[in-house]
Amino acid sequence: MEPETRQIAHQDVLKDTFQRKPVTKPDSQVEILDLEELKDFQGRKRSEFENVLKVKRLDIKQWIRYAQFEIEQHDLRRARSVFERALLVNNSHVPLWLRYIDCELKSKNVNHARNLLERATNLLPRVDKLWLKYVIVEESLGNVAVVRRLYGKWCSLQPGRNAFDAFVEFEIRYQEFENARKVYARYVLVYPGVETWLKWVNFEKKHGTLITTRQALSLGLDTLALYESTPERDIATFVSAFAEWEATQQEHERASALYQLAMNKWPSNELLASAHVQFAKMYSTSSALDESIMDKRKREYRSSLAENSSDYDLWWLYLDLLQKHFPHELPDELERSVIDNNPEDQNKSLSWRRYIFLWIRVLTYFELHMRDLGKTKDLFEKLTKEIIPNKRFTFAKVWNLYAKFELRQGHLTAARKLLGYALGTCPKNRIYKNYIELEIRLKEFDRVRKLYEQYIAYDPTAVETWVNYAELEENLGDDERARAIYRLAASEEVGLGHEKRIEVMRKLISYETTEGEFARASSAYKDLLQLSSYDSGVWIEMALYESSIPTEEQLLMEVDASSASDEEEGTLEVTEKHKQSTRQVFEQAISYYRNKSDKQGRQAVLRALSNYEEVHGTAESQRKVKERLPVVKYKTKLEGGIEVEYLDLEFPDDSENHLATDKKSKLLAMAQKWQQEKKSS
């Protein structure tokens, strides 16, 4: 036989199997309308479950689905029956026990859940999940003594490390440190490794005393030494931990003696010898050793920087080393770290930021530590005029630091010239803000106004700048200028976005209200309404605003009643005049949306009016408004030759107007007919 030209691969077999797989239809949803249908549905589902279980009796997942169905039907008795039957089939299935217990806990049957947990832990004592569930339930109920007894019983079975760790954390939570020590005593008997002993030592460091910590370390070392099978790595790790702790307690002689004893007992332990050398380097009192280590590190840093002088992070570490151990070399190296060492990037990048921060460290050191003001100024000049490519980008932080340096020397004019030069060369928002803040502190408000004008010309789309400018004029008492700034910002000529213009108008309304210019605020609301394309939310705000402003009578009363209490001053009575004005605005909005055939907006305004009448109206006015609320009706329309159902809003006002119009037209027709008959006769 000749071999086939095309070999069948495993992908072809899988593809053919997938194509032959039957398509499963989604389950149809059952809509239950009354109790009889519910009973029928429950009976059918139970029959289905029972029939399936006759075939798949050992399928515990099917039992769980059956029990979950009974839980959803709120029939806890049947659910328990299903769970118990499932346990008769397989009582070693842990998820089944957990679902049964969770069912009882969700139903707040705590005693049932406790009995189940007792049964489960007695039947399956080696399953940690059941024990953990048991202790969590009892601890959430506040039964601390019961939880401690359960942990003791659990740990007596020599479970995994997680059980002992949980027991220790439990005792720590309740500040029972002596009990925690007893747990660790049992823990190290079951798991006598170095990991367990270090956990005990860390516990004593945090919650114990100097004596208890040393006892734990000594006992651990003695215990590990008894076992010949203890790995050399574990011995070295524990001895190092012991010695480092003694060193932290300033017991360097104890630590050295400990290493000597350990080396005598385990002379072939290379890891222990290496740890001894490292310890000697770290804690030796010999100044020569310390200097040699620092010299070696300094040479390594210099070698790395000679290969890559643009590693600014390494420069930072190198300067830290010099500042701590070689301060006499620091000034020269500081200057060498930044001079002729700028990044080659043509754009502002992370390298440039790191380089500038290195410059800031150099400048700070020369000014504050060296007190060399002349050198500091020369470095500032070099950085701002030669290093930073101001034509492409700049750093506002540097200009701000330079200006503050000049201010500390009392050179106000020089500081102003610096900030002005920075704005003329490469303007940035932060430089403008710093310059404005400086002039405000100096109370040079004419300069502040000029700076704000330049700032707005630089970036007219920044709402924050316009608002800050207007608030400055508010604080200075120039209301007309502040009002004009708000109006100019909200105009189309400036070019702010739609949302930003709305934000400015809201600021203007708030300002006019604060100033007591309620008529101007109402006018601003009309402008805001037009700007928002007559949004229903703005209509509602505008209407409610009419009830929040005091009338002329209330203003006069407030002036006369100067001795009124704070509570009386803070409350505003809503008068009939308020209600009339508010209702008038609501009616204008309703008429607008009726003419525009905007049913959604009209509905929103009517609902707001109804809510207003619920608070401030009478029973009659509330009834009338509720009668005007729309009714939702289902209607049909043709779309592409297909009848489509949709929701529509019908307003009672529209039907009444329609009837009135029909009646008027019929009466007019009858009058015209009578007039014609009279002429003919």
Reduce the secondary structure of 424-490 to three states and give it as a string: HHCCCHHHHHHHHHHHHHCCCHHHHHHHHHHHHHHCCCCHHHHHHHHHHHHHHCCHHHHHHHHHHHH
Is 61 or 346 the better-scoring residue by pLDDT? 61
Report the pLDDT value the prediction gives residue 669, as an integer from 0 to 100.
63
What digits encode the pLDDT tens for the residues 541-571? 888 888 887 776 666 665 555 444 444 444 5
Q: Is residue 265 part of a domain?
A: yes
Question: Three-state DSSP class for 647?
Answer: strand
Token digits of residue 656: 């009444």
Q: Is residue 338 part of a domain?
A: no
All residues at 6 or more sequence positions from 100 whose CB lies less than 8 Å from its CB, including other chains: 67, 83, 87, 116
pLDDT > 90 fraction of the chain, expressed in percent and rounded:
1
- Domain end residue (candidates: 254, 283, 312): 283
Q: Is residue 171 part of a domain?
A: yes
Q: Is residue 454 part of a domain?
A: no
Give mean pLDDT, residues 266-295: 65
Q: Is the pLDDT of residue 393 over 60?
A: yes
Domain count, the chain: 2
Q: Is the pLDDT of residue 681 over 50?
A: yes
Q: What distance in Å separates the CA atoms of residue 605 and residue 609, rounded to the nearest whole number?
A: 6
Q: What distance in Å separates the CA atoms of residue 170 and residue 195, rounded to the nearest whole number?
A: 20
Closest C-alpha to 334, from 377, 370, 299, 373: 370
Report the pLDDT value the prediction gives residue 286, as an integer from 0 to 100.
53
Q: Is residue 390 part of a domain?
A: no
Report the pLDDT value the prediction gives residue 15, as an integer from 0 to 100.
74
What digits encode the pLDDT tens for the residues 467-507? 888 888 888 887 888 888 878 877 777 777 778 887 878 88
Is 564 or 261 the better-scoring residue by pLDDT? 261
- Domain end residue (candidates: 232, 261, 283): 283
Is 562 or 242 the better-scoring residue by pLDDT? 242
- Going by the DSSP 8-state scheme, the letter that residue 493 receives in this structure is T
pLDDT > 70 fraction of the chain, expressed in percent and rounded:
88
What digits encode the pLDDT tens for the residues 415-472? 888 888 888 888 888 888 888 888 888 888 888 888 888 888 888 877 788 888 888 8
What digits encode the pLDDT tens for the residues 313-334? 888 888 888 888 888 888 888 8
Report the pLDDT value the prediction gives residue 596, as an integer from 0 to 100.
81
CATH code at position 109: 1.25.40.10
Report the pLDDT value the prediction gives residue 20, as an integer from 0 to 100.
73
* Residue ranges making up the domain that contains 637: 631-676
Task: Please report which confidence band the pLDDT of residue 149 belongs to, taking 50, 70 and 90 as the band edges.
Answer: very high
Q: Is the pLDDT of residue 26 over 70?
A: no
What digits encode the pLDDT tens for the residues 290-308? 554 666 577 778 888 888 8
Q: How many CB atoms sit inside 10 A of residue 376's CB?
A: 21
Q: What is the mean pLDDT of the chain?
A: 81
The model's pTM is 0.49
Question: Which of 164-168, 364-368, 373-377, 475-479 has the least mean pLDDT?
Answer: 475-479
Q: Is the pLDDT of residue 125 over 60?
A: yes
Q: Is residue 208 part of a domain?
A: yes
Sign of CA dihedral 652, 653, 654, 659: positive
- Domain end residue (candidates: 259, 283, 307): 283
Report the pLDDT value the prediction gives residue 498, as an integer from 0 to 100.
73
Q: Is residue 237 part of a domain?
A: yes
Give mean pLDDT, residues 159-170: 89
Q: What distance in Å separates the CA atoms of residue 368 and residue 606, rounded to the nearest whole number?
A: 69
Report the pLDDT value the prediction gives residue 555, as an integer from 0 to 100.
65
Q: Is the pLDDT of residue 1 over 60?
A: no
459, 466 in Cβ contact below 8 A? Answer: no
Q: Is residue 494 part of a domain?
A: no
